[in-house]
Amino acid sequence: MQRFFSYLFILYSLVLLSNVLVAQNNQPVTPNLVRTVTCSITPIQNNSSLASNTRTTVTNYNKDGQKTTEINAQQHYAFSYQSNQQECYWMLGNGQKVLQQKEFYNPSGQLIKRTRFRTDGSLLDRLEIAYENGHKKLESYYNDKKIKVYDIKYSHNTQQHSIREVYTNYLTKQKLIGSTDLNQKLSPIQYKQYDMSGPLIQTIDYTYDDKNRLTSKIIQNASNGMTQKIIYQYEKEKTRCSIYNGQTLIEQLVYEYEYY
């Protein structure tokens, strides 16, 4: 469980509910006109910081707010842009760059297609997104054989500030239902996930400060009552995230910002 939250985003990309994907991303919103974000992740054991195991990622942005590079001890990524397209490359030690991901956007700037590749250039997977009246309507995921693995269908109730979704896995025939309630600023305040047969699987609750900045996420497993939480603290040029498994602090993330 020590790495539960570090890989939570990846885990729920396998669970495959899109609002959960958004919900599990631990990174706070990047402020405007940021030049560099340095994220340091330090594991905690028995209430002691394991500083020697700290992992750091440095992300650079241009003045348009576009990510240009992302560098950590294992990987170096570079990004390029043209009209409605973004490409991400692995930068290898021999100077070679290999296409890792390609994204396409509609005129409103919404993602409509993402294709990922392996280091040998072969297809890894593909995501396609359809919209209706500016709202996400359908997400479809395909594997490396171009077979649809699952999709998520959305319905939006703008008056009640809520989103409902149905996830269908075409390989396992599994179906799940997701429900997200939003605040007046359209940020999620509660997410619930159900099995199609009815039982609640998990809930995620969110709180915000008076600037609508996320201050906490509390994730509860309905079957065993296990709780995980993330607490956010904001400073002038820094954001701290404390990650707990139950009542035990297991990891701390610090985001430091440099501005133009």
pLDDT at 241 over 80: yes
Work out the average pLDDT over 118-142.
Answer: 96
Comparison of pLDDT for 118 and 94, the residue scoring more: 118
- Identify each DSSP E strand in the chain by its residue range: 34-45, 48-49, 55-61, 67-71, 76-82, 85-91, 97-105, 111-117, 123-132, 135-142, 148-157, 162-169, 175-182, 188-195, 200-208, 214-221, 227-235, 238-245, 248-259
pLDDT at 9: 34
pLDDT at 158: 85
Q: Which domains does the chain have, with CATH numbers?
A: 8-259 (2.40.160)
pLDDT for residue 12: 36
Is the pLDDT higher at 62 or at 236?
A: 62
What confidence score (pLDDT) does residue 30 get? 63
Q: Which pLDDT score, from 0 to 100, does residue 31 have?
A: 62
**pLDDT value, residue 28:** 67
Give the confidence band of 3 by pLDDT, cuts at 50, 70, 90: very low
Structure tokens given for 209: 């400060």
Residue 215 has pLDDT above 50, yes or no: yes
pTM for the predicted model, two decimal places:
0.81
Tell whether the model's pLDDT for residue 27 goes beyond 90: no
Residue found by looking up tokens 């942005």 in the block: 61
∠ Cα 47 48 53 (to 5°): 130
- Identify the pLDDT of residue 144: 98
pLDDT-based confidence at residue 26 (cuts at 50, 70, 90): low
Please compute the mean of the pLDDT values over residues 17-31 and round it to a whole number: 47
